[in-house]
Amino acid sequence: MNHSPHSRPLARFALSLGMVGALAAPLAASADDLPRGYYPLPEEGDLVGSVYTVEADEEDTLVDIGHDHGIGYNEMVRANPEVSIWYPGEGTQVTIPGQFILPDAPRTGIVVNVAEMRLYYYPPAANGEQRQVQTYPIAVGRMDWKTPLGTTTITEMVRNPAWYPPASIRREHAEAGKPLPGVVPPGPENPMGSRKMRLGIPGYLIHGTNKPEGVGMRVTHGCIRMLPEDVEGLFDQLSVGTRVRLVNEPFKLGWSDGTLYVQAYPYLEEDEDEGATLERVTAAIDKVDATIDGAEYPVDYSRLKAVVEVPNGVPVALEEPEPANPQRLPGSLYDHIELVASEQTLLNQISHEG
Q: How many CB atoms lie within 10 A of CB 72?
A: 26
The answer to whether 352 is a known catalytic residue is no
Residue 165 · residue 184 · CB < 8 Å: yes
How far is the C-alpha of 120 from the C-alpha of 224, rounded, in Å?
13
User: Which CA distances in Å does 331 have to 36, 37, 109, 297, 337?
Assistant: 48, 45, 50, 21, 10
Residue 308 · residue 264 · CB < 8 Å: yes
- Please identify which of the residues 67, 69, 221, 223 carries the catalytic annotation: 223
Where is 244: in which H helix or E strand?
strand 243-247
Q: How many CB atoms lie within 10 A of CB 320?
A: 13
- Alpha carbons within 13 angstroms on the beta-carbon side of residue 1 total 27
Beta bridge partners of 133: 39
Chain length of the chain: 354
What would the DSSP string read from start to end of 290-344? Answer: HHHTT----B-HHHHHHHHHS--S--EE-BPPPPS-TTS-TTSHHHHHHHHHHHH
How far is the C-alpha of 37 from the C-alpha of 54, rounded, in Å?
17
- By the 10 Å C-beta count (0-12 exposed, 13-18 middle, 19+ buried), 114 is classed as buried
**Would the CA dihedral through 164, 169, 173, 179 be positive or negative?**
positive
The answer to whether 173 is a known catalytic residue is no
How far is the C-alpha of 303 from the C-alpha of 305, rounded, in Å?
5
- Please identify which of the residues 67, 69, 207, 221 carries the catalytic annotation: 207
Q: Catalytic residues, which ones?
A: 207, 223
